[in-house]
Amino acid sequence: MSYFGSVKFFKHIIISVAFLILIFPYSVLIYIILGSNIDQKQVYNTSESINSTTQDMLSFNAYKILHANQMSKEVLSILPSKDIISYQQKYKDLYVERKNFSNVVSNEKIAYLTFDDGPSNITLDILDILDNYKIKATFFVIYKDDDLSLKVYKEIVNRGHTLAVHSASHIYKDIYNSVDDYLDDFYKMFMHIYEVTGVKPNLFRFPGGSINSYNVNIYQELISEMLRRGFVYYDWNVTSGDAVKGATKEDIVKSVSNGLREYNKIIVLMHDSATKKNTSESLPKIIENLQNEGFRFDKLDGTVSPIEFGYSE
């Protein structure tokens, strides 16, 4: 009797089918469980690699933040940006050529007197005093269009001083509302100076300084946009304290003298406004004190390495 068709054959068939029915699902189940473990491992590995990428990005961002202060302005201005930000498209004529900073290290004592918020009815007095001492200074001005102010802008330039942008409106909450708003105000002042004097100002000073409570959310974006356009801004390291209510001439003179400390290069903050007659009247004494301390005077011109609160060279 052949094997096929025998009782043994049918027994084997039944056993095989039973085996397949019972064993096969278990095998598949085991395979799925093992497989899912492998998948989980892969997922885990993937998430690990995502984590490390994120960490790399985080440390890159930290690197950028940590080293932003040390990055040269040239590097900042050519950082590639994937999307051109809309305000970068504004005012195609609001660009100036940045000069190279003179990196001559010397122990020579130099004082840069700076006057903010003019023109005013004391500007001509200030200009006469500076002429008497044969000193050049820097004026960060605001927008005015009365006859005296137009004359003052021109006098500042004609007498060889630096005329620079402060702000058109000088209203903090408006200009620091956004980078766009700042540019709108800056452009108005920039064009006003250019139209009145024929000089394109390449320096500016932020109202309230480069970091203040009004621009704290936008100052980094704002500063890099201004640097990208070629402008140089100057804060100060010595203040005359003339903006303090009730400051006397003696207070102002003393504030400058006390502020000298160990600095060889000082940028002195003073104000040029109708309410600051004490400033112009204390100016001769301030100048003489600085001369006695061994300082010579100069104007800011864009080659002077800036003193900045936000970014330092």
Residues that bind Zn ion (CB under 5 A): 116-117, 207
Nearer to Zn ion, 117 or 185 (CB): 117
The radius of gyration of the chain's CA atoms, rounded to the nearest angstrom, is 35
Q: How far is the CB of 63 from Zn ion (least distance, A)?
A: 35
Q: How far is the CB of 173 from Zn ion (least distance, A)?
A: 14
Q: How far is the CB of 209 from Zn ion (least distance, A)?
A: 9
CA gap 30, 257 in Å, rounded: 85
The dihedral formed by the CA atoms of 175, 181, 183 and 189, expressed in degrees to the nearest 10: -50
Q: How far is the CB of 210 from Zn ion (least distance, A)?
A: 13
By beta carbon distance, the residue nearest Zn ion is: 116
Nearer to Zn ion, 116 or 184 (CB): 116
Q: How far is the CB of 197 from Zn ion (least distance, A)?
A: 20
Nearer to Zn ion, 165 or 283 (CB): 165
Nearer to Zn ion, 207 or 302 (CB): 207
Nearer to Zn ion, 209 or 259 (CB): 209
